[in-house]
Structure 1
């Protein structure tokens, strides 16, 4: 017999046995290319373009056998009893010059090498006895030619709720040949937003499944996967967008703390928002829980000009289907005093000498006003914060009759006067007869002068002590003291055609609503002829 290929050693002839035609199961031992973890089982794996050595266990094949591919009637090899091995069908250009016999053919082993493997080499190699086409048990081998897996497809939910769990599945098909080959090991690589995902903790990769427990909003994004079979990788899958939904965690104010200070009349704008998915409804409520404004994702509390009558507490409430949160905003509106208040009295107070007097002065201010009482001399009487109390244990006529309450803070000041009307009984300061004309038995006239003090203004009379007759006196107001409540009146009475029988003691009587007083007596004497 001739050699299979030029340069191959002449095959040794085998001993004379009955001619048998055998299908030989090929045990392939890869000497180049990838090494399969399945080597030694009933199939072997190689790649396109690799060289593959095939070892045949021919211990049960007998002296003569033949080898076929994929149950074809065209045999690859024919072994005769005379130990000559040749290719039966030399017209199969597919295998021409690509087989090499390695070493000697023995009673148990026959080796050959397939060079530059193609996808058409994938399939079953088997041995068959020449007579009866009987297959030799156990003499069959599957050659799998590995190819890149198909582009994967990701299946799983498009959304998940924060705190829950989600599983995504990467589905890819083997493209290795033959199509009905036994399953090969396929591994998967996952990426989120182009960053490879490592298993561990709440994240696990089990075969094609990516499972994430206690999922958080950070796990949202674009997921892709890649399949790998026998170290051959597929293309990356199309992206799978995972939307993680969650309720609000915190409520945000724009560059504002929980308390904002504004001067009355100034504009105020506070923006409230929260990170939510789906977007939260944002609502501003005032102290009475009345809605001020609302919006999606954010709401703006806008006040063109703040004033003291506004609510001093606003609440921003945010909510969606997964939760809700609230945050309070304390509004501190600052303003100066607008009016000065006295406790239940007008600008004038009337008091009887000796009575106590208490007047509280205050003003609505923010921040709190300093309140000060001043007397007519511009001397400070008392002061305090928020209010000051003018307290006099017993009023008297010598006190200032005008007091001023002054209030002020950083935003303004106001003053208000208090007129103090102290009432007291009258007193006679001077009483005399100022002129007697034609002092004869019949006097022409007698004039009397009485200077009195009293509040309210007293009524003044000239009284003849002997007859108890009274004569009204005409009073004129003297200049009032600018510092006290004293008010003096000069009262006169002239008795024309004074009768000598009206001589005797005269006095000045003054009286008002508080009391009355009689002066010392003045004696008028008319000489006889």
Structure 2
């Protein structure tokens, strides 16, 4: 149901509930509220004992203000009908609804801001006289969402009095909206020397209000973490509403009260060769000028980080260790004690020098001698030393002790030193040990394809022996390859063995000569001999069986016997031949021995 319908119904109920009229009565609403651009309905209810045809109704409008005057909007009687006053400010937007007896509704659509006036309904009923009622039309428009902006520059806490920190703008509201400032969740109230608010109100050509509000504040250090916003409160036909702006932070400048100097990387202990980053942080805003020193001397410009708030030391050495200090200087601090703050730290750069072995090699020992060698490395940390020989573990000690050395004691000894508690800090040194003596030979061989045999001769001894190969069976040619190793010589030889042969490795140095012979057999010669032996054994067994049958008379001798065997074949012979087809020669021979006698 339209707003006018509710109004008319309500007024009718009031009229019917009252006592019977003795004279003209006129009823109107005191106030009608509507949003800008919507439809407004103002009802006027009347009752009289006079003839309805004699009733004259007029609607007037009067602007709000002491000097305003009535301006007729509509005229209605039962003879001429409704007449609109074309000279009124609402002439092109006003209509009249008089379809219900005793009711006249003035309709404005759409409503404009200048329609906020007092509308008067005047009823004339001849002898009952003239009476009127009035309705105040109020127009509303919801403003835009508040727009907040912080000042661009920072505000120092030492500034005297309050400082402008933000503005809040609320546009196109009617009636004029109200603005409230908040810090966090608490509203800010004007306080002399602490909080100040100035508002500038303007109206555009659309007659709507725009409010620009400025917040002035005595800034404290804790305001650097505070959130500020503004709230707009305004009225609509439904009641009071509010909208909030976004939250902002302000830039607060304050002197440093604390300086912190720390090693950012690497974590843990620092060793030579690391890249070290040291940072200095002062809690002032903006960060005051910082001065970095090493052992009392200003740090070189190239070692500073890009933001001038730290050091970047690449490939540090022990000389980079020592005392580092960071000092801040803030000339804007009111308290002289706050102008300069500093902090020191100690940087320890751990190191491990190259390992040194004593006595220095290479060493030449005689067989049976004893050896004691030490391995040391200067370090800023405790170290652990391990000895290896030719890659094999020997002992955990910085001292290497060898007793009653032999040729096997010769070789390359490795001393590995590692700093405990810090990975990557290690060093090593080598000690070559030679043992004098007549060479010792170790021979190895393995069979290759196509009757080729690879021979390896390892000759240990010092002075380093020479090695040569020889064979009484064939010329070895130039197929050998010899190379020195730390404790002797290794020589390899590849020979083609067509028959069994002997090959001799001869090692010689200034202390003597030794040799060793290895027997070389062609590939497959052993198999041939084994086959020959088996064949001889089978022939021997066959001869024994034939001799046994001959002694028993089972095999006749002479020509007649041969003819009997090759002539007619009895059934027994058929059986023997059938078994010979399916069985071995041995089965045939047994059948002949154990079967019936043949026909003569």
Fold-level similarity (TM above 0.5): no
Q: Name the structure with the higher helix share.
A: 2
TM-score, scaled to structure 2: 0.35
Q: Does 1 or 2 have the higher relative contact order (CA < 8 Å, sep 6+)? A: 1
